[in-house]
Amino acid sequence: MNAVLHDAETIADRLVETYKDLHSHPELSFAEHRTAGIVEARLGELGFEVTAGIGQTGVVGVARNGEGPTVLVRADMDALPVHEETGLDYASTARTTDPDGHDVAVMHACGHDVHVTCLLGAAELLLDHKAEWSGTLVVLFQPAEEYGGGALEMINDRLYERVPTPDIVLGQHVGPAPAGLVGAHPGSAFAGADSLRIRMFGRGGHGSRPETTIDPIVMAAATVMRLQTVVSRDIAGSDMAVVTVGQLHAGTKNNIIPEEATLGVTIRTATVPVRERVLGAMRRIVYAEAAASGAEREPEIVTEETFPVLVNDPDATERTVGAFRTAFGEQRVLDPGAVTGSEDVGELSTAAGAPLVYWILGGVDAQQYAAAVAADRVDSDIPSNHSPHFAPVIRPTLDTGIAALSVAALEWFSN
Ligand code: ZN
Ligand code: ZN
């Protein structure tokens, strides 16, 4: 196993430039053309059978190496409409037009560039170590995780008719934990997420004559505040739920009361009953606030994205974490608990009827992390995923990420 860790380091040395290149050329969901091209070329060089264009921009490499299980290792490729403010010399300055036609900055603010680099590294390492395993390796590069539809798009594009159906699905997400560490939580590990757009309708008019109008801004403002009571008043203290209003749009001019207001809301829950309770409470509040304002038209609530709860198979997680402990040592393996982020990797395992093990890969400089812990400032000093300041430290994040994917795959090849 020391050879795997050593080789991961050697490969990471070479992939630093690939990582920086991917980081400075981020692409939005379903627009990962350049990234997919790099992946396709590299997998071809390594000797994989490559299928590109699955689910629009998805790329899958297959390496057949005799009898044995089929192990699928997954990375996501897309970036976010975020203006990078890390100040790194390889920071992104990219801009693009988003699906709504807006000009936006683009940034790998969720670390999917780390995921792509690490999986390219693991693909190479596993082929170098071909003598030590037998079975079929499937490396899958998925589009549009952030959008919530990428995994399903690949499945609906006949993924498992075009590549072998896996016996196990493996993957990782870089996050705000010390670099060099990995950790998986058995059971419900990533929250389910629902993204909703709510339109509230008033009656527009002159700002000087509110009595002739129904003000959708006041209606929306009251709704935003009351929605914050869902978690505290409708949900048990022992249950996890998050309700965030991330967008609120209304109006064009100070002296005009507009016709309508729009809210963009994201919800995170860890179980189906809690999800239904949150959605029901939201609906009740939105309709009641509209009624309280005297709205003449009922609000509209549209679901834009849905991620299922990510469930790590408990037995498979124990086995994989055991392999991590052997490879990395106890002190480099943690249980991060259930996190409130969401992921669609579970679609790939559900469609295959295979267990899933998805772990967290630390991406923060260990000293910086320790200093933040000592100052009790982790929340304020360590940028979270999606922050314009999110900047994983390259080493040993890549080394550990390449090693973790390889160690986990090797474990599942050893029947
Ligand atoms: Zn993300
Ligand atoms: Zn992500």
What DSSP string runs through 303-339?
EEEEEPPEEE-HHHHHHHHHHHHHHH-GGGEE----B
Distance 97 CA to ligand 2 centre (A): 21
Which ligand is closest in space to the CA of residue 77?
A: 2
Distance 320 CA to ligand 2 centre (A): 21
State whether the Cα torsion 145-151-157-163 is positive or negative: positive
For residue 130, pLDDT beyond 70: yes
Which ligand is closest in space to the CA of residue 174?
A: 2
pLDDT confidence of residue 415: 67
Distance 383 CA to ligand 1 centre (A): 13
CA distance 124 to 406: 10
Distance 402 CA to ligand 2 centre (A): 17
Distance 289 CA to ligand 1 centre (A): 32
Distance 81 CA to ligand 1 centre (A): 11
Distance 173 CA to ligand 2 centre (A): 7
Contacts of residue 233, defined as CB under 8 A and 6 or more positions apart, other chains included, come to none
pLDDT confidence of residue 29: 96
| For range 236-250, the mean pLDDT | 95
Distance 10 CA to ligand 2 centre (A): 26
For residue 340, pLDDT beyond 90: no
Residue 260, classed as helix, strand or coil, is strand
Give the rounded distance of the alpha carbon of 278 from its chain centre: 22
For residue 279, pLDDT beyond 80: yes
For residue 96, list its beta bridge partners.
Answer: 104
Distance 32 CA to ligand 1 centre (A): 15
CA distance 249 to 99: 18
Please tell me the pTM assigned to this model. 0.85
Distance 110 CA to ligand 2 centre (A): 5
E strands, 223-323, in order: 241-250, 256-257, 260-269, 300-307, 310-312
Which ligand is closest in space to the CA of residue 115?
A: 2
pLDDT confidence of residue 305: 85
Between β-strands 135-142 and 58-65, what pairing exists: parallel, antiparallel or unpaired?
Answer: antiparallel
| For range 384-406, the mean pLDDT | 97
CA distance 400 to 392: 13
The answer to whether the 2-189+309-413 and 192-306 domains have the same CATH topology is no
Residue 115, classed as helix, strand or coil, is helix
- Structure tokens, 176: 């705000």
| For range 354-376, the mean pLDDT | 96
Distance 67 CA to ligand 2 centre (A): 34
For residue 228, pLDDT beyond 70: yes
CATH number for the 2-189+309-413 domain, one of 3.30.2350.10, 3.50.50.60, 3.40.630.10, 3.40.50.1100? Answer: 3.40.630.10
In CATH, what is the architecture of 192-306?
2-Layer Sandwich (3.30)
Q: What is the mean pLDDT of the chain?
A: 96
Distance 268 CA to ligand 1 centre (A): 14
**Surrounding residues of ion ligand 1, Cβ less than 5 A:** 110
Distance 293 CA to ligand 2 centre (A): 39
Distance 214 CA to ligand 2 centre (A): 41
Distance 175 CA to ligand 1 centre (A): 10
Question: Where in the chain are the domains?
Answer: 2-189+309-413, 192-306
Distance 366 CA to ligand 2 centre (A): 21
For residue 77, pLDDT beyond 90: yes
Contact 190, 337 (CB under 8 A): no
pLDDT band at 223 (very low <50, low <70, confident <90, very high): very high
State whether the Cα torsion 119-123-128-129 is positive or negative: positive
Distance 69 CA to ligand 1 centre (A): 30
Distance 106 CA to ligand 1 centre (A): 13
Which ligand is closest in space to the CA of residue 266?
A: 1
Which ligand is closest in space to the CA of residue 361?
A: 2
| For range 332-348, the mean pLDDT | 92
| For range 59-84, the mean pLDDT | 98
Which ligand is closest in space to the CA of residue 112?
A: 2
| For range 229-250, the mean pLDDT | 96
CA dihedral 337, 266, 269, 404 (to 10 degrees): -30
| For range 381-399, the mean pLDDT | 96
pLDDT digits (tens, 9 = 90+) for 29-56: 999 999 999 999 999 999 999 999 999 9
- Structure tokens, 74: 């997954």
CA distance 362 to 372: 15
Which ligand is closest in space to the CA of residue 363?
A: 2
| For range 72-97, the mean pLDDT | 97
Distance 313 CA to ligand 1 centre (A): 22
- Structure tokens, 86: 């890390």
For residue 162, pLDDT beyond 80: yes
E strands, 131-204, in order: 135-142, 168-178, 182-183, 187-190, 192-201
pLDDT band at 306 (very low <50, low <70, confident <90, very high): confident
For residue 20, pLDDT beyond 90: yes
Which ligand is closest in space to the CA of residue 80?
A: 1
Q: What are phi and psi of 30, to 5 degrees?
A: 65, 10
